[in-house]
Chains A and B, each alone.
Chain A
Amino acid sequence: MEPVVDARGLGRDFVRTTGPLLRRRRERVNAVHDVTFSVAPGEIVGYLGPNGAGKSTTMKMLTGVLTPTRGRLRVCGLEPARHRTRLAARVGVVFGQRTTLWWDLPLRDSLALTRHLYRVDAATHSARLAELVDLLDLGPFLGTPVRQLSLGQRMRGDLAAALLHDPGLLVLDEPTIGLDVVSKSAIRGFLLRRNAERGTTILLTTHDLGDVERLCRRVVVIDHGRLVFDGGLDGLRATAPTPRVLVVDLAAPADPVEVAGARTVRVEGPRQWLELSANPAEVIAALSRSHAVADLTLREPGIEDVVARLYARGRGAEAPAPGGTAD
C-alpha cells in the first residue's frame, strides 16, 4: 500500500546572519540532513529528538509550511511544497504550543469557523461534532472563549478542530506538553481509540516519553538533523543497551558496596543504586552474603534512559540502527 508519508534524503538548510551590525556573517546551518523514512497507513509513529534536533523543521516540511532544500517528500501522495492547500484538506495538524483556535471566540464558534474553512457540510459536521464532543468531553466548555480555557481543555479543542474534516493523517507537534497527568492520559486514550477505530495514521513529535511508551509502536529518532534510529521500542532498547539498576536499601548507611557484576553509581544514606552488568540473582546472592539488606528493587531501564543514552552518543551514530520489530 502507498505510504502516507514518504521522505527520501530530505534536507533543509537555513542561512543565519550572525554577528554585530556592521560585521554580519552569513552561515549555512544544516537543520535537517538526509532524512529518509516512511509511514504506512494506520501506524502511530513517534518522532523524537532533543531540542533543536530538527523535529519542528521536519514537521513544517511535511505540512508544506516550509519548502525542503533537498530530497523527495510525499505526504498522502502529494508534494507538500507544491500542493499545500490540497494536502491541507487531508491532514489534521495540532501544534502543542500554538492553538489553531481563535483566541477571543467561544470554542463552539471556533469549531464552526473551522468547519467552514474545511468545507464540511452541515449534516456531516453536526454528526462528527457530536461524536467528538462526546469522546473528548468538550460539552462543559463549548461556550467558553478559548483564551479562558485551561491548557488541557484547549488541547482537546485543538484535537477536535483537527479531526472535524476526518483526515487520514494526524500530525501532532508536542501535543501533551505542559499538561497534567490526567489530561495526558485522556488524550493518549483518545488517540489510541481513534487509530484503532478509524485507522487514522498518527505522527507525533514529543519530548514526553510517556507518550511514546503508551502510543507508539514505532519511533524515529532524530538528532542534530540526522536520523539516528528508526524502529520499534524493543529495538530502541537494544540499540542503546542500558543496564538494569538494583536499588538496595541496606540496614544501615555504609560505604559504596563492591560486588562482582555491579557498579555502585549513587549512594543516599542507606540506599544505594547499583548498575548491573551480570545476572541479578548472582549479584543479590553475593550482596546478601556481605551486607545486611533490608529491601531491594530491580529497575528496568525506562525509555528516558535509553533515549538519553542515544542522544549522548550524538553524531557518533551514522546509519539508522535496524529496528527489532518495525511495524
Chain B
Amino acid sequence: MVDRVLVPYALLVWAWCRAAAQYPVSLMLLTLALLGAIGSELVALLFVFGHTEALGGFTLAEALLVYGLAVTSFRTADLLLGNIERLGEHIRDGSFDVMLVRPVAPLVQLATDGFSLRRVGAVVPGVVALAVGLASAGVAWTAGRVAVLAVLLASGTALCCAVWLAGACLQFFVAEARQLAHSVTYGGQALTEYPLSIYPRAVVRAVTFVVPLAFVSYQPALYLLDRPDPLGLWPGLRHLCPAVAVLGCVLAALAWRAGLRHYRSTGS
C-alpha cells in the first residue's frame, strides 16, 4: 500500500511543486490571495460575534474552535485531493484513458494532477482560528488531550477526503455532477463552520446521519470542550469521530471502485 500509493503520490507531488516553484512570485501572490479569501470568512465570523455574546450556546472562543476544525480539515483535504473533482473534465477530453494506461492507480494520478501548493494558504486561517480558540476556550490541556486533538484533526480531514471522493465519483455516472457536488462539499463546509446548534433539527440530522460532516467540526469541538450538547443529541456521538471517518473512507473507496468498474465496462 505504501509502496504503490504513498510513494507515487509523494513523488508526483514533489515533481509538481518543483514545476510551480519556477514562478515563485506568482505562487506567493496566489497563496496570499487565497489566504485572504478564506481569512475574510473568519473576519465575517468575528463581525458576527460583535453583535452577540453567544451563538447557538457557543461563545466566540468556542465558535472559533468549531470554525478552526472545519476549515483546517476541509482545506487540508482540498490540498491533498482537491483536483479529483476534475474527473469529468479528464473523461471528456480523453486524458482519463491516458491515466488508465499508466502503472499508477488513476486516483493517485487524479489527485496529484496539477497539484497546487497555494492551497496551503487556505489552511492558514483555519489553523489560526483553531489555535486562538483552543487557547481561549478554557480547554484543560494534557498530553492525552493533545494526542486526541491530532486524532480528531486527522479523522476530520479523512472524512472530508471521503466526501470529496464520493462527490467526484458521481462524475462517472453523471457528467454535470461537478457543480452539484459543490453544494454538498463546499455547502457542507460552510454549514459546519458554525456550531450546528444554530440550525433547525432537520439540517442537523442531515449533517450528522446522512453526510456526516458534523463529525468534522461540531462533535470534535464538543469533545475537546467537554461540554454538553445544546442540541441534546446522544453524548456518545462525539467519541465516534474516528470510526465515522474510517467508515466514510471505506464507503467512498467502494464508490470509487464501482465508478471505475462502470467506466471500464461501458466506455465513455
Contacts and interface: CB of A to CB of B under 8 A. Distances in A.
Are A and B physically bound partners?
yes
Interface of A: 14-15, 57, 60, 63-67, 81, 84-86, 88-89, 91, 93, 95, 97-100, 102, 104-106, 109, 112-113, 116-119
22 contacts: A15-B266, A63-B100, A63-B101, A64-B101, A65-B101, A66-B265, A67-B265, A88-B102, A88-B103, A89-B103, A95-B98, A98-B95, A98-B98, A99-B98, A104-B114, A105-B19, A109-B15, A109-B19, A116-B11, A116-B12, A119-B8, A119-B103
Contacts of B8: 116-117, 119
Interface in B248-268: 264-267
Interface in B10-26: 11-12, 15-16, 18-19
B264 A88 contact: no
A116 B113 CA distance: 13
Contacts of B16: 113
Interface residues of B, number: 25
B104 interface: yes
A119 B5 CA distance: 12
Main secondary structure of the interface of A (DSSP, over half): mixed
Contacts of A113: 12, 15-16
A65 B97 contact: yes
Contacts of A66: 264-265, 267
Contact of B97 (A14, A67, A98, A116): A98
A204 B222 CA distance: 62
B100 A64 contact: yes
Contact of A14 (B94, B104, B264, B267): B267
Contacts of A104: 114
Nearest to B7: A119
Contacts of B114: 104
Contacts of A100: 98, 101
A2 to B, nearest CB: 21
Interface string B91-116: 00111011011111100010001100
Given A98-B94, A98-B98, 10 more contacts: A60-B97, A64-B101, A66-B264, A88-B101, A95-B94, A95-B98, A98-B95, A109-B19, A118-B103, A119-B8
Nearest to A84: B100
A16 to B, nearest CB: 10
B264 A67 contact: yes
Nearest to B94: A98
Contacts of B101: 63-65, 88, 91, 93, 100
Contacts of A95: 94, 97-98
Nearest to B113: A102
A85 B264 contact: no
Contacts of A60: 97, 267
Nearest to B101: A93
Contacts of A102: 113
A117 B12 contact: yes
Contacts of A117: 8, 12, 102-104, 109
A109 B95 CA distance: 18
A14 B268 CA distance: 10
Contacts of B103: 85-86, 88-89, 117-119
B111 to A, nearest CB: 13
A68 to B, nearest CB: 10
Pairs A-B, 7 closest by C-beta atoms: A88-B103, A116-B11, A89-B103, A98-B94, A93-B101, A65-B100, A113-B15
A119 B266 CA distance: 31
